[in-house]
Structure 1
Amino acid sequence: MRFRIKTSSSSHTLNDIPDTLSFDDFLLLIEKETGIPSATITIKAGYPPKIISVPQNSVPLSQIQTLSNGDTLIVSSPVQLPTSDTPNPIKKQSNNNYNYKPQSNINTLNVNKDSSSISEPHTEKYYVKCRDGYMIKRVSFIFLDIPDDNSCLFRAVSYLVHGTQENFYGLRTVISDTITNSNKLNNTSYSEAILGRPVPQYCNWIMQPNSWGGAIELQILADWFSIEIVTVDIKTGTHYVFGLAENKYTTRIYLLYSGIHYDAIVFNPSLSVNAYSNDTLMFPASDSHALDCAIQLSKLVRTKSGFTDTTSFKLLCLDCNTILVGEKNATIHASKTGHTNFTESK
């Protein structure tokens, strides 16, 4: 089982927790992560969050009906520990070498569909009004702006999962390793026919910082993080859910897709660009209001800023100066030549 732990001051991830683990031992794991004494811990889960209570602490996690794999758990304590005596949270070492950082500020929300936009200098430009705040295209604050550098998908996912863009390159490693290991097991999910090029060539290509990600990468990342990744197309307002088919992930993130660029969608009670630390990054998969709001946001962005039609836009290959029409032709060109440096041609 996998859980995300949120306290008033930090967030953590617990991976590979056996469902046979007793609730008492689970509290000890949380104590190790957060520094909060297990005997004082209160846990809330679900949406809206409710306190988890068990008849006895020896009960295994699998028998706690209010606890599900992938849940975000809000951990608190009525006991206020002195700051000087509070140990630093112990970061759990993951079973990989991707150097991921803990995610931060993961909450849940309710939303509705009233929309607007503003132009004040220190507030976000694209948002829709939500029940108790705003769903926002997070681009205005300089440190959160997702650069148009062919790594925008990885940067956006990194921010929504980890609370920082800094881990974006490690996500490329996840893609490469997943495809390589899948083929070692003779799994045809990521065969040459699917990838459009030999597996080693594709893995080498996706590791290049100027190679863009798409549906294959989104599916792999959804399964890797045990979440749904929802992309909302600005052109059509259509949404696509990755990680939905055979899995029952309870949490999801939202991305806006313009045809050539991905941006993170967040919720925040404030429109100030300086309030990014209060961003809600993940949402319950069952929250249809959040989905409605993300779709409304895509329509607003389309009206205010336009979109790029990937079937007809022109790309210039900077490696050989060839002009290509449409994303499909650019992908074929990259597959045949190994060229990966593209820019939009007007």
Structure 2
Amino acid sequence: MEGTVVRRVIPSDNSCLFNAVGYVMDHDKQKAAELRQVIAATVASDPVKYNEAFLGKSNEEYCTWILDPEKWGGAIELSILSQYYGREIAAYDIQTLRCDLYGQEKKYQERVMLIYDGLHYDALAMSPAEGAPEEFDQTIFPVNKDRTIGAVENLALNLVKDANRKRSYTDTANFTLRCGVCQAGLIGQKEAVEHAQATGHVNFQEYR
């Protein structure tokens, strides 16, 4: 198989997860609003499965929350989108080198890949050559009988390991943030979340 796995950067606008999924599924980086609707509709349609214990908020609250373009997606949203598209979604975490596979239990025949740096999702694609235009990207891969995607998987893991060696991730437990509204200094995601809940401020900048 000729080619190389490349990271396609998705804009950092709080909708990176949705736009990364849009890119690997449909070659479209502008799908966030549509995919948020899909998720809200899925959750609303099954309040028994998507209950407060599962979502961390009431079903109705969650549906309003996920439609807000400022809110980030995570594991719940990836599992719903995997189901919606009928494909596995592999999300590689740069810091831990872990790969979370969504939709695995459904034995889907195809897989797409994302990469996560602790705060942000980008898309992974197979390109015929370094620097080739995005229209030549392959983003959907057949899953083999052994439930892997063959050589592509190793190439993806090598790219993730390389990003890890360069420390191009955010350690969300220990990173330092400053609130863009009141300039308060905060450490880690936990303090940022608490600050946001207490003040309503959600504009944080990382600083070293």
Q: TM (normalized to structure 1)? A: 0.54
CA shift at 1:342, angstroms? Answer: 3.9
Letter aligned with residue 138 of structure 1:
R
* Residue 325 of structure 1: how far off its partner (Å): 3.4
1:168 aligns with 2:27: no
Q: Aligned partners of 1:338 and 1:213: how far apart in 2?
A: 19
Q: How many percent identity over aligned positions?
A: 40
CA deviation map 1:72-112 (0-9, x unaligned): xxxxxxxxxxxxxxxxxxxxxxxxxxxxxxxxxxxxxxxxx
Verify: 1:301 aligned to 2:163, yes or no. Answer: yes
Instruction: Encode CA deviations 1:40-87: one digit per residue, 9 max, x unaligned.
Output: xxxxxxxxxxxxxxxxxxxxxxxxxxxxxxxxxxxxxxxxxxxxxxxx
**Structure of higher RCO (CA pairs closer than 8 Å, 6+ residues apart):** 2
Match of 1:147? 11
**Aligned residue runs from structure 1 range 6-155, under 5 A:** 131-139=1-9, 146-155=10-19
Partner residue in 1 for 2:86: 226
Indicate yes or no: 2:52 matched with 1:192. Answer: yes
More helix by share: 2
| Correspondence for 2:135 among 266, 270, 277 | 277
Distance 1:256 1:156 in 2: 9
After superposition, the Cα gap between the structure-2 partners of 1:216 and 1:319, relative to the gap in structure 1 and judged at 3 Å, is: farther
- Name the SS of the counterpart of 2:46 in structure 1: helix
Query: Which residue number corresponds to residue 262 of structure 1?
Result: 121
In structure 1, distance between residues paired with 2:184 and 2:37: 29
CA, structure 1 residues 334+253, in 2 after alignment: closer, same or farther (shift >3 Å)? farther
- AA at the equivalent of 2:81: L
Q: 1:315 to 1:300 in 2, by over 3 A?
A: same
Q: Which amino acid aligns with 1:162?
A: D
Q: Can you list the C-alpha shifts for 1:182-202, whole angstroms capped at 9, x where unaligned? A: 11xxx2x32212222222222
- Give yes or no for the alignment of 1:159 onto 2:23: yes
Is the CA contact 1:197–1:335 (under 8 Å) kept in the aligned structure 2? no
**What root-mean-square deviation, in Å, do the aligned CA atoms of Structure 1 and Structure 2 show?**
2.3
Distance 1:212 1:317, change over 3 A: farther
Q: How many residues align?
A: 204
Following superposition, the deviation at residue 336 of structure 1 comes to: 7.0
- TM-superposed CA distance for 1:297, in Å, is 0.7
Q: Whole-Å Cα distance in 1 between the matches of residues 179 and 66 of structure 2?
A: 17
| Aligned CA distance change for structure 1 residues 311 and 138 (closer, same or farther; 3 Å) | same
C-alpha deviation, 1:334, in angstroms: 5.2
1:251 partnered with 2:115: no
Aligned residue type for 2:113: Y
Report the equivalent of 1:327.
189
**1:90-149: per-residue Cα shift (whole Å, max 9, x none)?**
xxxxxxxxxxxxxxxxxxxxxxxxxxxxxxxxxxxxxxxxx411111123xxxxxx1111
The secondary structure found in structure 2 opposite 1:190 is coil
The residue identity in structure 2 corresponding to 1:326 is G
Secondary structure of residue in 1 paired with 2:108: coil
- Given that residues 136 and 268 in structure 1 are in contact (C-alpha distance below 8 angstroms), is that contact kept between their aligned partners in structure 2? yes
> Shift of residue 272 of structure 1?
2.0
Q: CA deviation at 1:179?
A: 1.3
CA distance in 2: counterparts of 1:289 and 1:330, whole angstroms = 40
Report the CA distance between 1:156 and its aligned residue: 0.6
1:241 aligns with 2:105: no
Q: Which among 150, 169, 176 is matched to residue 314 of structure 1?
A: 176
Normalization by structure 2: what TM-score? 0.86
Q: Distance in 2 between matches of 1:194 and 1:229?
A: 20
SS, match of residue 241 in structure 1: strand
- Matched-pair contact (CA < 8 Å) for 2:95–2:167: no
- Contact 2:126–2:139 (8 Å) recurs in 1: yes
Q: Runs of 5+ in structure 2 lacking a partner?
A: none
Cα distance between partner residues in 1 of 2:197 and 2:23: 29
Q: What runs of 5+ residues in structure 1 fail to find an aligned partner?
A: 1-130, 140-145
